[in-house]
Amino acid sequence: MKIGIQTRPWGPEMNRAHLSAVLADIAGAGYDGFEIGAQHLQIDRPEILQELAASHGLEVVGIHVGGEIYDPQSVKAALDNLARIIAYAKEVGASYIPFSGKMKENKIAAELANQAQNLNQIGRLCQQHGLKLCYHNHFWEIEQGCAELRHLCDHTDPALVSLCLDVGWVQRAGGSPVAVVEEFMGRVGYFHLKDTTPEEWREIGYGTVDFGDLLGLIESRYDGWLVVEQDETRRQPVESARMSRAYLKEQFGL
């Protein structure tokens, strides 16, 4: 399996104005590739990211996007931009479009149906460009026994919509990462590895997620990308990146 990292801990300014330095940190920490939010990129200039990634020997794993997919008007307004981002992702050699939904309490049946319908539509756009759409969960899809995540999987086309399963958010929501991976493995396109305590996000191996059983399960049934994501860090981002990478290598040979 290849190990990547999300560039989020470096913050918007570094991602936008000093991305070469971010990628130097990532390559130096021993990662194979990276995922980055579309909001940090010049979508009309794919050659910039192509050249930066190549100069640091890294693969572009995914271009992260998000939106209010339960709202038809929001999706309609965003589709042109999404189409441009998907075309950009193809140009820079990405394989995945991780997509985060927006939280809304007590979604009604029509809103849940809209989510599924809109994800199918976005997934079709991705498929046309040879990309895989992977829905990224947070805590609300995991609460109430994974009710929203299960509805999403039951009402989307598996050929169009996969999951970017974030195990840290599963833990934060009170779920069992092993149990959730076991149930949804058939829909997983790739994983976000994330560790946490009840109070803060931590480097991999320094929180409460049991990665022993979890990675044993993943390795037995999956051979795609594992992407480290740490939403916030008290350390320098490169230090956190190195700690997470060292833990995966030393404890699991990854």
**Tens of pLDDT along 78-117?**
888 999 999 999 999 999 999 999 999 999 999 999 999 9
Instruction: Decide if pLDDT at 248 tops 90.
Output: yes
190-201 mean pLDDT? 96
- Arithmetic mean of pLDDT over the chain: 96
Q: What is the CATH number of the domain that holds 165?
A: 3.20.20.150
Q: What is the pLDDT of residues 210-239, one digit of tens each?
A: 999 999 999 999 999 999 999 999 999 999
Q: Is 252 exposed, middle or buried (0-12, 13-18, 19+ CB in 10 A)?
A: middle
Number of domains comprising the chain: 1
Q: What's the predicted TM-score (pTM) here? A: 0.96
Note the pLDDT of residue 77: 82
List residues bridging with 96 in a β-sheet: 62, 132
- 92, 50 contact by CB (below 8 A): yes
Structure tokens at 160: 């169009």
- 34, 19 contact by CB (below 8 A): no
Note the pLDDT of residue 80: 87
Domain that holds residue 82: 3-252
Note the pLDDT of residue 79: 87
DSSP H or E stretch at residue 74: helix 72-91
Q: Which residues of 71-86 are buried (b: 16+ CB within 10 A; e: fewer)?
A: beeebeebeeebeebb
184-192 mean pLDDT? 96
Q: What is the pLDDT of residues 152-179, one digit of tens each?
A: 999 999 999 999 999 999 999 999 999 9
Instruction: Decide if pLDDT at 208 tops 90.
Output: yes
